[in-house]
Structure 1
Amino acid sequence: MHRLSPGQLAAPLFTAILLLQAAFTRSAENGPSFDCEGVREGSTEAMVCADEVLASLDRKLAEVYAAALAKASNEHPPVLKAGQRGWIKGRNECWKADDQRQCVEDSYRRRIAELQARYRLAPGRGPVTFACDGNPADEVVITYFATEPPTLIAERGDSVSLMYRQPSASGTNYRGRNESFREHGGEATIIWGFDAKPMQCRQSTTR
């Protein structure tokens, strides 16, 4: 019977160790920004750990959040940190959705776009000013951001609204929490506030 020498035995063992190390490295590189060990089975975190797309979005959000945090270092009150805690709570509520995974993915994409727009981490276009209802003093100032999905920040007096682009057959259509902006050819219909009357606005000068 032929016996393997210690050197011959060590070679396959060494190869196996290298393969395990490579697999662990790939897993760490493809995983989310948080440690997947110890996450609760069936939780949103467990879903993110098991899904490469969601894990990639989590890493992207961590990167964008860090960049936003650097810009918000002197922010008082700490709106960014409070907002992130609220976002995590909202993401974890996706178990109530008909399509939980899609809800989680959409939540990540919208949060990334929000931070990029609010903290000017993505290229912007504008500001563009719209005078509303024939009153030059009633202005809405729009800045568009090249995020995914596309966003804009609208300012009216002391109020600010972040809006996301919606599918539209013609022109552009953005919607925020209680505001909306529909524009075509320099003419815009803007709703500002819950159950507010639509304003008819015309693009004026670019600041």
Structure 2
Amino acid sequence: MSFHHHTLLIGAGLSALLISATAIAQDGPSFKCSDKMASSVEGLICKSPDLAKLDQTLAAAYSAAQKTAGNRANTLKAEQRGWIKGRDECWKSDDQQACIRDSYNQRIVEVQAGYGLVAAKGPFTFDCGSNGSISATFFQTDPSSINATYKGQQAFMVAVQSGSGVNYKGQNESFWEHQGEALVTWGDGAKQMTCKKKT
């Protein structure tokens, strides 16, 4: 075998290796998988192409948010660390895959909405009569989301499937909008309020 031919073979082998490494990087999560992760949430993400894809999506959103965060950069980092701790709690869940998936979907939408990565409409004011008023900004995330403020408290809510209108759900809040009217529950066990959109 001539020296020149041998070099070509090595070159071809290297490029094939690089291609397969790139394919793994695209299919896997944003972090490096290892055997040590086997019995952990990260291990589950490494084994699931769907969860790995969600991790890639969040990593891209987080990277974009770092560029727009400005003086909120430290807040973004702290939020992300807190979120990772929360995500890792999914290990205790009865349905680990669903828990991790929901955790990622919520965080992706929060980062996109919170750091100006998607278009927003509002804020709009909804008059809740004797209960005061609610301010809501709507974000074109997927699924859509809102950031609402009521009596000085903020709540971030994500759209869930509903028969008519759009139903947004947060931790202890819900905001169901239909034809300029919103049915709002704010707080655990709170009574539902009917609020009308101010034009």
Q: TM-score range by the shorter chain?
A: 0.7 to 0.9
Q: Could you tell me which residue of structure 2 aligns to residue 194 of structure 1?
A: 188
Q: Could you tell me which residue of structure 1 aligns to residue 154 of structure 2?
A: 160
Check if 1:67 corresponds to 2:81: no
Following superposition, the deviation at residue 97 of structure 1 comes to 2.3
Following superposition, the deviation at residue 12 of structure 1 comes to 5.5
- Distance in 2 between residues matched to 1:67 and 1:38, nearest whole Å: 30
Q: After TM superposition, which residue ranges in structure 1, 4 or more long, deviate above 6 angstroms?
A: none
User: Which among 43, 53, 56 is matched to residue 40 of structure 2?
Assistant: 43
Residue type of the partner of 1:18?
S
Following superposition, the deviation at residue 39 of structure 1 comes to 4.3
Q: Could you tell me which residue of structure 1 aligns to residue 169 of structure 2?
A: 175
Check if 1:130 corresponds to 2:98: no
- Distance in 1 between residues matched to 2:149 and 2:157, nearest whole Å: 11
Query: Residues 7 and 70 (structure 1 numbering): CA distance in 2 closer, same or farther, change over 3 Å?
Result: closer
Deviating more after overlay: 106-115 vs 23-32: 23-32
Report the aligned-residue RMSD. Answer: 2.4
- Distance in 1 between residues matched to 2:36 and 2:190, nearest whole Å: 44
- Distance in 1 between residues matched to 2:38 and 2:68, nearest whole Å: 36
Which structure has the greater CA radius of gyration?
A: 1
User: Which among 66, 81, 88 is matched to residue 84 of structure 2?
Assistant: 88
User: Which among 98, 102, 106 is matched to residue 102 of structure 1?
Assistant: 98
Residue type of the partner of 2:111?
L
TM-score norm. by structure 1 comes to: 0.83
Following superposition, the deviation at residue 71 of structure 1 comes to 3.2
Check if 1:55 corresponds to 2:52: yes
Q: Is the 8 A contact 1:126 1:142 kept in 2?
A: yes
Segments of structure 2 that go 5 or more residues without pairing to the other structure are none
Q: Could you tell me which residue of structure 1 aligns to residue 116 of structure 2?
A: 120
- Distance in 2 between residues matched to 1:127 and 1:28, nearest whole Å: 40
What does the per-residue CA deviation read over 1:116-138, in whole Å, with 9 as the maximum and x for residues that have no partner? 11222111122221101257xx2
- Distance in 1 between residues matched to 2:187 and 2:98, nearest whole Å: 28
Q: Is the 8 A contact 1:131 1:204 kept in 2?
A: yes
Q: Is the 8 A contact 1:110 1:149 kept in 2?
A: no
- Distance in 2 between residues matched to 1:166 and 1:29, nearest whole Å: 29
Q: Is the 8 A contact 1:134 1:201 kept in 2?
A: no
Question: In percent, how many aligned pairs have the same letter?
Answer: 43
Q: Is the 8 A contact 2:68 2:116 kept in 1?
A: no
- Distance in 2 between residues matched to 1:6 and 1:44, nearest whole Å: 51
Segments of structure 1 that go 5 or more residues without pairing to the other structure are none
Count of aligned pairs between the two proteins:
198
- Distance in 2 between residues matched to 1:9 and 1:95, nearest whole Å: 53
- Distance in 2 between residues matched to 1:62 and 1:17, nearest whole Å: 28
What SS is found at the alignment partner of 1:74? helix
Following superposition, the deviation at residue 152 of structure 1 comes to 0.6
